[in-house]
Amino acid sequence: MTASPQSPVVYESWGQRVVFGSGTAQDDVAAEVARLGSTRVLLVAAERERSLAERICKNVPVVATFGAVMPHVPGDVAEAVRTAAREHAADLVLSVGGGSTTGTAKAAALTTGLPILAVPTTYAGSEATPVWGLTEVGHKRTGIDPRVLPQVVVYDATLMLSLPTRLSVTSGLNALAHCVDAWWAPRHNPISSALAVEGVRSLASSLPRIVADGQDVHARRDILFGTYLGAVAFAGAGSGLHHKVCHVLGGAYDLEHAALHSVVLPHVVGLNLPAAPGAARQLGAALDDGTDPFGALSDLYSALDPPRSLRDLGLSEREIDRATDLVMAQVPDSNPRRVTHDKMRELLGRACRGDTPVLIPLTNSTDS
């Protein structure tokens, strides 16, 4: 444990049943629905994942399917899924899909209190957090509520075989970001940090394997393990600087969630790592390079070749001043380095242009 003996450690864990499998989703979901005693299931699945979801739910008492899933859960979608749950007298919300689908199920649970069984098909990790998000006229609100934490998660590595390489990589880096941000998030603690180390280890060793072979089920299973550990670490530690930057940019400019995380992460790490020796040690341990963790992260990025520029995702460089103002209002007090307006503007400018991420050395004693 790396916390000083003087500082108390506070860690809140969130109860959840998790089933990991490969090719077993249909049986596992049926068994878990029966275990919960549910007889009226509302299935939430985007049109694209609908046939997959119906296959998984073959032996489940589904009373209705909600397919109008949209990224970032707009308010009218939240209302519609709640209405569907009410009109069909559902006793369980079963989501099959990525973070947008899980988020839609969470919107239903937030006001109805219905339990969720989540079957993730990306590495977003929302299934293991009590965090909800809703969007109203370009503004994304998030909150924490134990009612939205799925009671059960059924992971099946084979459901990820259809993910294209680019989305596999960006979504996997979204999972990596949950781990890394946990080292300096507001409620960072030794337990979340330890989960994050193992999460990074799992993700960094398996993501390059699916770039080489997207059908490698063992690698996909290892990524799911890292995804879960990262999401639990994030749930315990809260949103650090990286998540605040992505939350603000994603909400204000509607940028693709996973790709946005991929672009921003190494820039935030380059800023924070010189002021966070504990995080540097842990990143080094997880990437098997205690001497140059930032170099090891850069090597991982070279191997994965994710998107590098926010401009390519749709952010205009003309927006950098406004984006900086928006982000600056959200910088967590817990951040290991003092973040000035100029530093953030520089960071966002580099991320927007797709400049190579760099370590930004400390300049003096007031820099951290």
CB of 143 to ligand NAD, least distance (A): 10
Per-residue mark of binding to ligand NAD, 231-260 (x: CB under 6 A): --------------------------xx--
Kindly tell me which residue out of 65, 95, 129, 324 binds ligand NAD, with binding defined by CB under 6 A. 129
Tokens of 30: 């049926």
Q: Of 16, 121, 193, 272, which one interacts with ligand NAD (CB under 6 A)?
A: 121
Nearer to ligand NAD, 308 or 350 (CB): 308
Q: Considering beta carbons, is residue 110 or 114 the nearer one to ligand NAD?
A: 110
Quick one: tokens of 50? 């609908």
> What distance in Å separates the CA atoms of residue 279 and residue 79, rounded to the nearest whole number?
41
Place of tokens 């790592």: 273
Minimum CB distance to ligand NAD, residue 54 (Å): 15
Which one of 100-108, 280-288, 302-310, 329-337 is the stretch in contact with ligand NAD (CB under 6 A)? 100-108
Minimum Å gap between C-beta 255 and ligand NAD is 11
Greatest C-alpha distance within the chain: 63
Closest to ligand NAD by CB, 247 or 337: 247
The yes or no reply on residue 227 touching ligand NAD (CB under 6 A) is: no
Beta carbon nearer to ligand NAD, 231 or 275: 231
For the CB of residue 215, give the shortest distance to ligand NAD in the complex, in Å. 13
CA 321 to each of CA 48, 222, 318: distance values in angstroms, whole numbers, following the listed order:
37, 40, 7
* Angle formed at CA 112 by CA 111 and CA 114, multiple of 5 degrees: 130
Choice between 39 and 151, CB closer to ligand NAD = 151
Query: Closest CB to ligand NAD among 175 and 275?
Result: 175
Tokens of 139: 């503004």
- Specify whether the CB–CB gap between 182 and 195 falls below 8 A: yes
Whole-number minimum distance, CB 127 to ligand NAD, in Å?
A: 8
Span 69-88, contacts to ligand NAD by CB under 6 A: 71-72
Quick one: which of 16, 56, 93, 125 contacts ligand NAD (CB under 6 A)? 125
CB 92 within 8 A of CB 151: no
Residue 126 interacts with ligand NAD (CB under 6 A): yes or no: yes
- From residue 133 to residue 162, the character string flagging contacts with ligand NAD as x (rule: CB under 6 A) and all else as - is x-------------------------xx-x
- Minimum distance, C-beta of residue 348 to ligand NAD, in the bound complex (Å): 19
How many alpha carbons lie under 13 Å from residue 251 in its C-beta half-sphere? Answer: 19
Region of 107-115, 128-136, 182-190, 347-355 interacting with ligand NAD (CB under 6 A): 128-136
- In the complex, which residue's CB is closest to ligand NAD? 99
How many residues contact ligand NAD, by CB under 6 A? 27
Confirm or reject binding of residue 95 to ligand NAD (CB under 6 A): no
Type of residue found at 283: L
* Residues at the site binding ligand NAD, with contacts judged by CB under 6 A: 46, 48-49, 71-72, 97-101, 103, 121-122, 124-126, 129, 131, 133, 159-160, 162-163, 167, 171, 257-258
